[in-house]
Structure 1
Amino acid sequence: MSSRRTSRHASPRQRPSTLARVRALLAGALVLGVGGTATLAAWTDEERATATVTAGTFALQSRVGPAPTPWANHTTTAAALPLSAAGLYPGQSRAAWIQIQNTGSVAGTVNLSGVTFASTPAPGSNHERLRDATRVRISATAADGAASNAPSCTTSTPGTEVTGLQNVPALTAQPLKAASANTVTYCVVITLSADAPNEAQGGSVTPTWTFTGSTPTS
């Protein structure tokens, strides 16, 4: 009976060697695991995309007479509006027009934005009196194409009027299509008020109206 019980259980001398073998196997397993992870390779691939970015253009041109009057850029030198306004007397009116197109590739709008003078009239001078006694009436119309004939613009053409050449009529911005697909015509009418003072006699002023075009902001 005692021999059977002895065979079922390891002797105290056998236990340390068994534990050593177990520890060695576990360590080997750990080493194999680290080695297996280190040998893994990551596969990569790439895709690329490119594009050409080109800016559009927005360029105004104007003319103050029918064909063969050419369209031209008047950024630095103003177009001479043929108002024939020399020698005005009280109650007299003069009319002239300017047409504007956009030769660029981007559509936008144009509007009357300001008026300046070659020189500021001295206070109380006949030049100032003339400036203040002159009314200006301006209208704006947009039409497709570039008609070669003169537009309808007379001293009776209706529009927005203010008194004093230094003032700017408030107009609505007009659409400007790309590639000269339409034309905006501004009819400018000036009238020396019937009650212009005697002190305005001999006065002279040179107003320059500015028409500003712009593209959409987004």
Structure 2
Amino acid sequence: MGSRSPGGRRRLKAILAGGLALGIGATISLAAWNDSEFATGTFSAGTFGIEGSTNGTSYAEHPTAGTAASLIFSTGFDDISPGDVVAAPFAVRLTAATTYDATVTVASAAPAPPAFVGLTYGIATVPTFADCSQTPTSPTWIVAQGTALDSVVGAVPFNLTQGTPPTTPGAPAFVCFVVTADTDLVQGTSVTETWQFLAESV
């Protein structure tokens, strides 16, 4: 083989050096392994609702004061005088498909006109719809008798349970309103009282 010029050797070394650099780069690329894991979750909100009945059979929702259920009071409510007592039953339950139990409280009582006097009330839970009367059977008072029409002071919550299975309505609670007339009642006057039952999921 003939001798090469110094310039030729420099070129050969430069080519070999380039080849070595290319080889190192290829080795690093092949060693870059990777892998992945993914996780996902789907979240669905539950449902919650309460409904009431004035006859213990037919239930409907009454979500605003303007759509309040009209209670059916005992005889004499429309001709009441001092010393009279009248009562009305009401049933409440959780709606079908409700997925939570509930705590229920008498949250407000609003007479119209607001300054009306001469009537007081109490609310009790009773074992059955028929146990509501002027003297309820086995009452548990959730608002004490003698409470002013515009007050819910001391109201005690009661519980409702979702249906089993939850596609059915829950078991009802039976509520008894007892209204008493006192000597402050003015002849010929009238008042419309609206109570709010507030249910909170638990």
- State whether structure 2 residue 101 is matched by structure 1 residue 107: yes
Unaligned runs of 5+ in 2: 1-20, 164-168
The aligned amino acid for 2:46 is G
User: Is the 1:162–1:169 contact (alpha carbons within 8 Å) kept by the matching residues of 2?
Assistant: no
The aligned amino acid for 1:106 is Y
- What's the Cα RMSD here? 2.7
Per the alignment, in what secondary structure is the counterpart of residue 117 of structure 2?
helix
User: Is the 2:50–2:93 contact (alpha carbons within 8 Å) kept by the matching residues of 1?
Assistant: yes
Which residue in 2 is equivalent to 1:190?
Answer: 179
User: Is the 2:103–2:158 contact (alpha carbons within 8 Å) kept by the matching residues of 1?
Assistant: yes
In structure 1, C-alpha distance between the alignment counterparts of 2:100 and 2:196, rounded to whole Å:
21
Encode CA deviations 1:184-204: one digit per residue, 9 max, x unaligned: 2211000101x335xx11111
CA distance 1:39–1:65, change in 2 (3 Å)? closer
Aligned counterparts, 1:196-207, within 5 A: 196=184, 200-207=186-193
- State whether structure 2 residue 119 is matched by structure 1 residue 167: no
Encode CA deviations 1:79-131: one digit per residue, 9 max, x unaligned: 001125111011000001111101112212111100123x435xxxxxx4xx3
Identity of aligned residues (%): 31
Q: How many residues align?
A: 169
CA distance 1:139–1:36, change in 2 (3 Å)? same
- State whether structure 2 residue 71 is matched by structure 1 residue 72: no
In structure 2, C-alpha distance between the alignment counterparts of 1:38 and 1:93, rounded to whole Å:
94
- State whether structure 2 residue 49 is matched by structure 1 residue 59: yes
CA distance 1:108–1:163, change in 2 (3 Å)? closer
- State whether structure 2 residue 128 is matched by structure 1 residue 136: no
Encode CA deviations 1:37-61: one digit per residue, 9 max, x unaligned: 8456221112222232111111111
In structure 1, C-alpha distance between the alignment counterparts of 2:196 and 2:78, rounded to whole Å:
21
Encode CA deviations 1:114-160: one digit per residue, 9 max, x unaligned: 0123x435xxxxxx4xx32212011125x7xxx7xx33011112531
Decide which of 176, 189, 193 is 2:160's aligned counterpart.
176
Which residue in 1 is equivalent to 2:17?
Answer: none
**Stretches of 4+ moved more than 4 A in 1?**
34-40
- State whether structure 2 residue 195 is matched by structure 1 residue 215: no
